[in-house]
Structure 1
Amino acid sequence: MQLTIIGASGSFPGPGSPASCYLVSANGVDDNGNPKTWRILLDLGNGALGTLQRYVALEDIDAILLSHLHPDHFMDLCGLHVVVRWNPYGWDAGRIPVYGPAGTADRTAIAYGMDPDPGMHPDFEFIDWRQRQAVEIGPLKITPYPVRHPIEESYALRVEATEPTPDGEVTSVLTYSGDTDTAPGLVEAARDAHLFLCEAAFHEGRDDAIDGVHLTGKRAGEMATAADVGRLLLTHIPVWNDPLVTSQEARTTFDGQLAVAVSGVTYTV
């Protein structure tokens, strides 16, 4: 499984990165048993759609998985709707499955100024998350876990890929925190993950009075240690934060492999 960072900027696009969007690729077979690389998106925040096209044809997106419905995590669905609905040469890839919180279809329609009936239903197949109930997309199994963020539904997503090898199969695990403060569901989602893509939007000292919104680097490290993950990749860092400070905070509570997510970089899980 590979993870390509499309956007990692916290809360809004920055000068070097769109808002949250992560491309996950895994090898498997299609419905006819032929080899296929499956591609899903974890979130599609504002500014991500343009950068995404450097790495994948939009017709090759197999599904979009939304952690929650703040604009920096879903808003570019509106642009993708234009691609599907209004491309003068047609769209032959069918409706794109979109997994998300209840109300995703109405929220996207309202964001675009559309009547929710039919809204974007002709373009996307909207499927509501059910807590801790996995969905399967090709070789990928994705399970949503509830976390702690000021919105009705917010999820961490555990992504497990079972891929063929010359000796059989191998399973790798990626966990994406979405947006959250410390939460039991986050540790549950990240348990024994090979790679933990974890938000760290706050700084120790400056943001201590704010509870239930975001993690600091230190708290992200605590969650990673509690979950016994292999690697910690810090993300969702706003432009006003110093990534070095964030990583230094995380190092005080996590002693494994540690890095900061950078737009355009691909990681093997």
Structure 2
Amino acid sequence: MKLTVIGCAGSFPGPDSPASCYLVEAPFEGRTYRLLLDLGSGALGHLQRFCDLRDVDAVALSHLHADHCFDLSGLYVVSKYHPAGALDRIPVLAPAGTGDFLARAYGIVEPVGMTEQFDFRAWEDGGTVELGPFSVTSVLVDHPVPAYAIRVATEAHSLVYSGDTGPTDVLVDLAGGADLFLCEASFLESASNPPNLHLTGAEAGDYATRAGVGRLLVTHIPAWTDRSEVEADMKTTWDGPYELVTAGFTCQLG
């Protein structure tokens, strides 16, 4: 399994990174299978540095905020209008209603929406689906819109992605024993933070410790937030291997 951070800026694209998008790859039937976790604002352009857009096999959207899903519209254009011909329809795992939501956002008026290009499948809280070499499990987390944390596992390795969430112990169960825990930390312990929205570095570190993960990858830090303070917060609760990820960061498992 290989993880590439395509974009990791919190809440909106920053000067050094697009918004949330993570490429997860693993061997499958003699080739490389490519799954995208989120496809937020600005990510589609940077993604092309790492793979041909025609080689994306599936997309998993944690929730329907712009910084996590809006560049699916660009992938729709590539899929429908590519000069070599329309691409094969691919699965898009996402909250219920995603197909209609993104079709309206894009301005599609015909009845089929985006369904000729994408096979939209709604998440089930606690459900697991198979995508190529991956078993993908989703759990509902704490955010103003329906949002899911996602566990991606092969026979040998596992990665857990928090998506966007306020504090919730479901992350401990989902991340239990994972090799990598890709966890958001948008807030600072020193600030007065709104509830039910995001995590601090200390909260991300606490969940990583309690879940016994192999490595913590901190992500979704907004451009206006002091990364060194996020890191200091995280170190109060986590003493294992970690990285505050940047766009282009890669990690190979196995």
Q: CA deviation at 1:116?
A: 6.6
Matched, 1:200 2:190: no
SS in 1 for 2:88: coil
How far off its partner does 1:15 sit?
0.7
1:11 corresponds to: 11
Q: Which residue of 2 aligns with 1:224?
A: 208
Could you say what secondary structure the match of 2:135 adopts?
strand
Aligned-partner Cα distance in 1 for 2:110–2:47 = 27
The corresponding residue for 2:61 is: 66
| Residue among 53, 59, 80 paired with 2:48 | 53
Alpha-carbon separation, structure 2, partners of 1:186 and 1:37: 29
Deviation at 1:243, TM superposition (A): 1.3
Contact 1:173 1:193 in 2 (8 A): yes
Alignment match, 2:94: 100
Q: Distance in 1 between matches of 2:123 and 2:192?
A: 31
| Aligned mates of 1:117, 1:184 — CA distance in 2 | 41
Aligned partner of 1:83 in structure 2 is: 78
Question: Whole-Å Cα distance in 2 between the matches of residues 203 and 64 of structure 1?
Answer: 30
TM-score of the two chains, using structure 2 as the length reference: 0.97
Aligned-pair distance for 1:114? Answer: 1.6
Structure 2 residue runs of 5 or longer lacking an equivalent are none
Residues 12-68 of structure 1 deviation map (CA, whole Å, 9 limit, x = unaligned): 101110000000001121xxxxx1211100000010000001101111111000101
The Cα offsets for residues 126-156 of structure 1, whole Å up to 9 and x where unpaired, read as 11111111111121111001111111x1110
Report the alpha carbon displacement of residue 218 of structure 1 after superposing the two structures with TM. 0.7
Identical aligned pairs, as a percentage?
Answer: 50
Deviating beyond 2 angstroms after TM superposition, the runs of 4 or more aligned structure 1 residues are none
1:248 Cα shift?
Answer: 1.1
Partner letter of residue 6 of structure 2? I
- The residue that corresponds to 1:167 in the other structure is none
1:186 is aligned to: 171
Determine if the alignment matches structure 1 residue 235 to structure 2 residue 219. Answer: yes
CA RMSD of aligned residues (A): 1.1
The worse-fitting range, judged by mean Cα deviation, of 179-188 and 98-107 is 179-188
**What is the match of residue 248 of structure 2?**
264
* Residues matched between the structures, number: 253
Counterpart position of 2:238: 254
Check 1:260–1:116 CA distance in 2 against 1; reply closer, same or farther (3 A cut).
farther
Q: Which amino acid aligns with 1:158?
A: R
What is the CA–CA distance in structure 2 between the aligned matches of 1:83 and 1:39, rounded to whole Å? 16
| Contact 1:18–1:47 (Cα < 8 Å) also in 2 | yes
Q: Check the 8 A contact 1:200/1:235 in 2, yes or no.
A: yes
1:148 corresponds to which residue?
A: 142
Runs of 5+ unmatched residues, structure 1 = 30-34, 163-170
* Contact 1:110–1:116 (8 Å) recurs in 2: no
Q: Contact between 1:105 and 1:116, CA under 8 Å: does it hold in 2?
A: no
**1:244 shift after superposition:** 1.5
Structure 1 length as normaliser, TM-score?
0.92
- SS of residue matched to 1:97: strand
What are the Cα deviations for residues 176-219 of structure 1, in whole angstroms up to 9, with x where unaligned?
Answer: 000001112211111111110000001112133x1110001011
